[in-house]
Amino acid sequence: MTISRTIYFICYTSPQSPMVFIERFSPIINPIAENLKVLDGIIGLDIDAVTQATYIRALAKVSRELGLRSVIAKERITDYWGLVKIIQHYGVSEEAAWKLARGAWNTESVFLESPPMPGISSLLKIFRDLEMPYVFISSRPAEFLNVTQTWFAKTFPWVNPENIILGRKKPEVVKEYNVGLHLEDSAEEALAIVRESSAKVILIPQPWNLSDDTFHPQIERVGPYSQLAGVWPAIRFLASHGAKDFLA
């Protein structure tokens, strides 16, 4: 069985029992377990666009407020705050565009109703079943901690709510919690983390980081990007021969 086919079945047929999960999908889990042995520290995960697909609800919200007939395609956002430029394209002032963009991402309804990213459930189950500790590190304002914890309780009930950290600079949290590997979608955040810590970063492919020329020995770009890719490329990489050298 190839790795790609194994990943497919983890997504759609993973059983509830941890032992059955490990035994049935050992072709993908065993290499990940072996590679993670060399990791110095725990795992960190961003939330938006890594764990939760908040862009789905956020772009729908902006599109409604602009009176558009169709939802703005995520592929149009080619840099981290590219949504501001898109809103301005529809005749909105820069100040109002920033307000609308920030409000679209930081909204209780978006945080509560957006679905999980493709593949994240299987990745978190792998970490859980391997007893690999992890924390969620997000630049969401701290005022949204309760609603974020509510979403996790509903979606991933095994996640410890104390392991969800919002409203702080990511490099600061990475160092405080001894994060050795962080999964991130922002190239800017990835660079900030590796400049200020020894952590390794896996950059999840999204349209806003594809054109960035981020080359750093502590950053691994996985891909290619697609609407359904989610964190599957990260899972494939963690099971690959190259992961051990990168994580060491």
> pTM of the full predicted structure?
0.88
Sign of CA dihedral 172, 130, 246, 40: positive
Q: Which two tokens stand for residue 163?
A: 């392991």
pLDDT in tens, 35-53: 999 999 999 999 999 999 9
- Do 103 and 65 contact (CB within 8 A), yes or no? no
The residue that leads in pLDDT, 199 or 78, is 199
Whole-number Å distance between alpha carbons of 44 and 49: 14
pLDDT in tens, 219-228: 999 988 888 8
Whole-number Å distance between alpha carbons of 23 and 19: 6
Placement of tokens 């970490």 in the chain: 127
Whole-number Å distance between alpha carbons of 230 and 163: 22
Whole-number Å distance between alpha carbons of 72 and 204: 21
Please tell me the CATH code under which domain 14-53+115-247 is placed.
3.40.50.1000
Q: What is the pLDDT of residue 79?
A: 84
Which helix (H) or strand (E) element contains residue 216?
Answer: none
Strands (E) in the chain, as ranges, are 42-45, 134-138, 164-166, 179-184, 200-203, 219-221
Q: At residue 205, does pLDDT exceed 90?
A: yes
pLDDT in tens, 3-47: 333 333 334 333 344 444 444 566 789 999 999 999 999 999 999
